[in-house]
Structure 1
Amino acid sequence: MPRSPLPTDPSVHSFSHAGATLVAEETGGGRPVFLLLHGIGLGRNVFDGLAGILARQGRVIAVDLPGYGSAPEPERTLTMERTADLVAAFVRASRLGPVVLIGHSMGTQVASELAARHPALVELLILVAPTVDKRARRLAPQLGRLVRDLAGENPLVLYRGGREYLRAGPNLRGKTRAMLSHRPELAYPRIAAPTLVLRGAEDRVCPPRWCRFVVASIPDARYSQVPGHRHETMIRDPREAARRIVAFVGRFDAERPGS
């Protein structure tokens, strides 16, 4: 499927750095600033429901990472580290920081690297369905878990996910390789920002054992499960995840300058 041209909506703009381009869509206003990073094969549109809720609380920026959504393919597939550096450059250039950084699935890997490599830019970190479980860091186990997770899933999730996977283009194999070769557990101990790890209680891609390991590895982290949800919890019905995110952020509101 041909990639859509860069949008002309004034709330949507592109940012290029070191040979790669991301696309950002903004809603809401004020602080905090929520920055949303999607998973593999997806794009910023999967956050529409969550962004609508969070926009009542502050400024929300959802990103298409390079080669996803309406962002053009880079000449070379970016590693998670280089993707994090691109997002960090965007945050600095746009004078957004520090941000409340929210990553979903592969987006948690980018978010973790950003928080570890550029700590001054991240106020709070939220990892939703963190990947990749180091006990299943191969394509076959990951696909098997994803298939089991999607069995009987809501048609909206299947439609949005399938549409975005098609838009991700022919380089999805290289992107998957970059995701699976990344070692997020090396970044976790270097994260200084208070962190919330969210998991759908029925998520078959991110088992509880792995999520507990993630929480234990990050110096200031806590864990929460969303009952009745799977890996794509923020696509099917983001309200419960949003409620937990808002509650987590609210704990730090009194410490925010200007509150």
Structure 2
Amino acid sequence: MSSHPVRRLVIHGHERAYVQAGSGPVLLLLHGLGCDHTTWDPVIDRLAEEFTVIAPDLLGHGQSAKPRADYSIGGYANAMRDLLTVLGVETCTVVGHSLGGGVAMQFAYQYPERTERMVLIAPGGIGPEVSPAIRAVTLPFFRQWMGLLTLPGLRHVNGTALRLLARSGLRATRDLGEVADIYDSFRDPAARAAIGHVVRACIDWRGQVITMADRAYLTAAMPMGVIWGSEDHVIPASHAEIARQIAPGAEVELVADAGHFPHRDHPEQVARLLLDFVRTTQPSTHDREDWRELLTYGPNLPATRERAGEWPLRPLPRATRSRASA
């Protein structure tokens, strides 16, 4: 259960659940696949001391509706725009974990004028690798198979086993407590159907289909932070190095002794990293002409301007940091 009261809105005919805490600039926290807003409980109170925190349940998850609907990454980004609009929020720093990281990236690309910064925690969309358990969701008859595995007696036994393994202290099993919660949520046929739609929209048998690599150059105009657990067995921590290579301006932090949920393994450290990043970066200021040029010329924009004699006069916009050592 959430430690914060759940609020509800109906948008496009579907109920959306979310929690809101604190005051000040807005942090939008987006959870991962099969999770809900409660994944952020360990860090919400600390973040809410300085910011307005909005943590929704994505459609098909938690207490939000689970209709037959658009569960694409772009569809989720649209839904976050609409939620913020209804709440009267013009701009925010978007923070996404796992699936939510992919949504955060898509939100930033689709709505740069509404995105001050983005912080990605073990996000999807950096490289193709992903755990076999997630790939299994794409297999035929997943819904029927999971329906059998979540029958009351079997669900209780399996869930208990997963939680006991999570408490064993073994690094390879550290995330199984969260996995047990996700597994328990699959007892709802509507949740199983929604998760199936989500996964098939971005993953196939070879791994993740959606990638930020072809658009990473756009982070030149927006502060980007990446946080990864060093012992992540769901989406490998090696993807953090890929993020560093394709987005050289990003600030990448590896959290030692943490799995796929570093904000739960080490909430104080992750909250501090988030707060430091926001405090020491200037919000992105969207300029339509600069954005048009970035889209037109892509990573070759500096060379294009230099050849045209414009580069010394009108430099490529960069996400800036106020920290002296940046």
Normalising by structure 2, report the TM-score. 0.66
Distance 1:87 1:77 in 2: 13
User: What corresponds to 2:321 in structure 1?
Assistant: none
1:195 Cα deviation from its structure 2 partner: 0.6
User: What corresponds to 2:257 in structure 1?
Assistant: 228
1:161 Cα deviation from its structure 2 partner: 4.0
Distance 2:175 2:283 in 1: 38
Q: Counterparts of 1:203-222 in structure 2 under 5 Å?
A: 203-218=232-247, 220-222=249-251
Residue among 188, 199, 222 paired with 2:216? 188
User: What corresponds to 2:310 in structure 1?
Assistant: none
Higher strand share: 1
2:267 aligned with 1:238: yes
Identity %: 24
Change (3 A) 1:154 1:199: closer
Q: Secondary structure at the match of 1:135?
A: coil
Change (3 A) 1:62 1:53: same
Matched residue type, 2:212: P
2:146 aligned with 1:151: no
Q: Secondary structure at the match of 2:21?
A: strand
Change (3 A) 1:230 1:183: same
Number of aligned residue pairs: 245
Deviates more, 1:183-192 or 1:216-225: 183-192
Residue among 42, 47, 59 paired with 2:40? 47
Q: Secondary structure at the match of 1:29?
A: coil
Residue among 11, 24, 37 paired with 1:16? 11
Change (3 A) 1:132 1:117: closer
2:57 aligned with 1:36: no
1:165 Cα deviation from its structure 2 partner: 5.0
Change (3 A) 1:87 1:101: same
Task: State whether residues 65 and 71 of structure 1, in contact with CA within 8 Å, keep that contact through their aligned partners in structure 2.
Answer: yes
User: What corresponds to 1:96 in structure 2?
Assistant: 89
1:44 Cα deviation from its structure 2 partner: 0.6
Superposition CA RMSD, Å: 3.2
Change (3 A) 1:99 1:164: farther
Distance 2:283 2:16 in 1: 33
Change (3 A) 1:138 1:199: closer
2:225 aligned with 1:178: no
User: What corresponds to 1:4 in structure 2?
Assistant: none
Change (3 A) 1:201 1:89: same
Distance 2:10 2:215 in 1: 25
User: What corresponds to 1:27 in structure 2?
Assistant: 21
1:246 Cα deviation from its structure 2 partner: 0.7
1:150 Cα deviation from its structure 2 partner: 7.5
Distance 2:201 2:105 in 1: 15
Deviates more, 1:150-159 or 1:203-212: 150-159
1:53 Cα deviation from its structure 2 partner: 1.3
Residue among 95, 118, 124 paired with 2:117? 124
Change (3 A) 1:255 1:134: closer
Normalising by structure 1, report the TM-score. 0.81
Task: State whether residues 157 and 235 of structure 1, in contact with CA within 8 Å, keep that contact through their aligned partners in structure 2.
Answer: no
Deviates more, 1:124-133 or 1:59-68: 124-133
Matched residue type, 1:196: G
Task: State whether residues 21 and 74 of structure 1, in contact with CA within 8 Å, keep that contact through their aligned partners in structure 2.
Answer: no
Larger radius of gyration: 2
